[in-house]
Structure 1
């Protein structure tokens, strides 16, 4: 089975820069991390590979600096990694992002199962995964809380849909989006890090896409426009106490009382 996992780098904190003209986030500003939900998606893929065999490819759309995240995926056990990186993809909304990813998946070819995290911590739309499936014309199941069974022909999953739960059996090729806590992501392996240090991370650009219609990509291909975007204000404030342990305890107690925590 050929499994593909969509991953994304997201801001690691609130210190990010916003483009004043487009309203889009400058991805190269501030620290980044792997979207937490995508780690569950990668772990689910690795467990499936262990059960039914095959390979796991990770795919992201972003700047070349995303290679660091791809190499982290290698240390967890991914077989191949691909970055869609082109200025023509910049500024994309959900529709344009999902379309570019679907085109990248088509270019990679012969994918049986696509696994996405339920959502990203920067956008929180939970729409990109299902939208990829719609672009590809394949069935999908969202909000997957458990992979019940899988074989070479289909996958059976449990979905938690707010007020009900259901079990769905879906033939390949298909896409699922997984919720957090469905599994525990494994730790990076030093041995895999050594084995994969020279393994290439493939870069794909607009020229690799089968559809060369620029009106479907990036800012131009985004029907939604951001009116205003801003980083949330910093609300954390550090308080330092002086004195011995008894005095510090009294000061901390007074602060908690004043804030009506106790």
Structure 2
């Protein structure tokens, strides 16, 4: 079904009708007919993306109509939700949903890769970084494992998805912290991605991040981390000195784009 272009258009039109006609009427009735009802702010909060919104967007981006996907997000944004909220509650969960479809063999790798690439384009569109084509040449990532880790499967999957979304990715597996730091000092990278296998490696990860920030040619380099320990406790990413974490390889693409856009904004200011 998701390969039919008319499905994406019909979903976008339905969302527009809900946003333009039904929701305003509900809010008016809420104010005029139910004066003792909860504040409108609580009603708006309840209109945050639902599980059907998330799966709906995921199926739209599996199609080929990027404009329909953009309209889909625009309708939700017009509810009053910030782009940060949409990232956390819509775009990132949609990428995670695509990963689940792949895990369950409901989509092949190419389908999911293209879908995630379209989600990345949506994020760039709404953050405005797609208006600066010269930035495409700076969409670079150094992908590494925490020194001492032996399993590269997760890092390789992130690398494949990033490349599929158009990133220039340089692998730096089986490197020491000093070698990783020299690599980011020798070439400009927008993002450094690091995976960690267990809590035992967290001290080594923290030291590697410190060296990356000290030696990087790009002094505003963003660092994202991943691995089971961060899936269980995402707040741990900030504690080790990273800028963000991702639950799986598809969401890592969106996190890299988000960090890239934030860096562009800081540079412009």
Same fold (TM over 0.5): no
Q: Which has the higher contact order (CA 8 A, sep 6+)?
A: 1
Instruction: Give the structure-1-normalised TM-score.
Output: 0.28
The structure richer in strand per residue is 1
The structure richer in helix per residue is 2
Instruction: Give the structure-2-normalised TM-score.
Output: 0.27
